[in-house]
Amino acid sequence: MKATIVIPSYWRGPAAAGSACGFESDFIYESASPLDSEGTLGQALESLDVLRDKEDVSVAVVAVPTRDELKQAVELRVQTIVAQFEHKYPIMVIGPEEIMLWRRRLASKGLYQYDHFLSLDGCANVRNVCLLASVLSSAEAAVIFDEGAALEDPEYIFKALEFVGGQHDGGFVGGVTGHFRHTDGSPLLPLSMDGWQGKWGGIDSMNRALSLISEGPRLKKAPFTFGGNMVIHQQVFENVPYDPSIPRGEDMDYLMNARLFGYDFYMDSDLWTRRDEPERCAPPWFDLRQDIIRFARERAKLNALADGDAGLSAASAGDFDPFPGRFLRDDLHDIVFETSMEMAGGYYSAGREADAGECIMNIAISRAETGIRQDALAEYVAYQRQWQEFIGIVPATGIWDPEFISD
């Protein structure tokens, strides 16, 4: 099976300039490296040396700046790193310059309606470009790999492709998710001493989900995915895009979307990479806000589905327990309220009134977001249909061909 390993590489401003983490766009990409640091892309590419059976494997790197003014610098930095490895395996680089060129060519063909699929703004859009890279390389499977991870298992590619596209327990394996092992060898996240985390329960429910990795058979239906250790079959990525309305956790949302269209993901306990949790750039209230929006919209999709949306496969919050299922039920706003009040109290005690105010704002955002019922699903279904058109029509236009000729 022909596979493409796709590595999104995120970069923010130089740390020495004091601007490495000063903008909201910096907060969104949690693993972005400062431009004046070594970064992690080189380490990820170097770790591919350990792999056996690489004959049918190509590599694509998606270069992502956190801010517009960094586009040229990020493109150059990624190209420089990639050049050190091009003698080992073919590497495609898609960055701001390529995206801009392809959009112009798309416009010259009169296909303006598809240009929003060519975007590096937001995590889901970046992931869709990762899927597009797999289409361009004629891959039968996309292996989405975290630049902050390192491969240590020589059989990783064999395991990644062992089940995807086949049958398991009478069902089609549309995708496979592995997990990360941290320095201590455990896949579990470190516990937090912050009081608000106890109210939120995210780490606890995530660790209960992670404990499923070592339980039961090697392959089991997944309630969640890791976007940086994820294998997607061609049949899935050509038909199911990431949802750009989801600001964070787009990988787990992708699993839900795939299920709505009849594709299941499976968890493989033997598919692992080494990675430690990156240091967070964003303040906790910002991460919570992104989670509120994401879970409210995912819950809205499930609610609309329960109301009888024809043509989609059945799914409920229980299918995604313990994580993210905990946040997909009717008590989401109650959880947000208790968590936000606890977090605000901590900020007030520390004299950080502006941050406390953002926590209170999260309560208002939650109330507004949890009032959504059908729009989230209807909008995504319309987006999915257009993605199918894009994948079916646009590759034939050759907008990425070096010898492209406009009409």
Grade residue 28 by pLDDT with cuts at 50, 70 and 90.
confident
Summarize the confidence of residues 240-267 as an average pLDDT: 96
| Model confidence, pTM | 0.95
Residue 394: is its pLDDT beyond 90? no
Residue written as tokens 């703004």?
A: 121
Per-residue pLDDT at 191:
82
Instruction: State both tokens at 250.
Output: 């787009």
pLDDT band of residue 371 (cuts 50, 70, 90) is confident
In this model, does residue 178 exceed pLDDT 80?
A: yes
Instruction: Identify the residue with better confidence: 129 or 90.
Output: 129
> What local confidence, expressed as pLDDT, does residue 190 receive?
85
CB proximity list for 355: less than 8 A, separation 6 or greater:
283, 285, 347
* Number of neighbouring beta carbons within 10 Å of residue 314: 10
- Looking at residue 276, its pLDDT comes to 77
**Structural element, H or E, at residue 297:** helix 284-306
Identify the pLDDT of residue 290: 94
**Which tokens is 35 given?**
């431009």
Q: Is the pLDDT of residue 20 over 70?
A: no
From CA 206, how far away is CA 208, in angstroms rounded? 5
Position 19 pLDDT exceeds 60: no
Question: Average pLDDT in the 74-95 region?
Answer: 95
pLDDT at residue 73 above 70? yes
pLDDT over 90 percentage in the chain: 76
pLDDT of 23: 64
Domains and CATH numbers, the chain: 3-281+378-397 (3.90.550.10)
Question: Residues 223, 177: contact at Cβ < 8 Å?
Answer: no
State the Cα angle at 393 between 391 and 394, rounded to 5°: 75
pLDDT of res. 153: 96
Average pLDDT over residues 332-360: 97
Question: Quick check: 17 pLDDT over 70?
Answer: no
9 token code pair: 């590489």
Residues 6 or more apart in contact with residue 359 via CB below 8 angstroms: 285, 288, 340, 341, 343, 344, 347
Higher pLDDT, 237 or 280: 237
For every residue of 302-365, which 3-state class applies, written as one string? HHHHHCCCCCCCCCCHHHHCCCCHHHCCCCHHHHHHHHHHHHHHHHHHCCCHHHHHHHHHHHHH
Q: pLDDT by residue (tens digit) across 209-230?
A: 999 888 889 999 999 999 999 9
Q: Is the CB of residue 9 less than 8 Å from the CB of residue 65?
A: no
pLDDT of residue 372: 66
The pLDDT of 378-395, averaged and rounded, is 94
Q: What is the pLDDT of residues 274-309, one digit of tens each?
A: 987 777 778 999 999 999 999 999 999 999 887 766
pLDDT of 186 reads 86
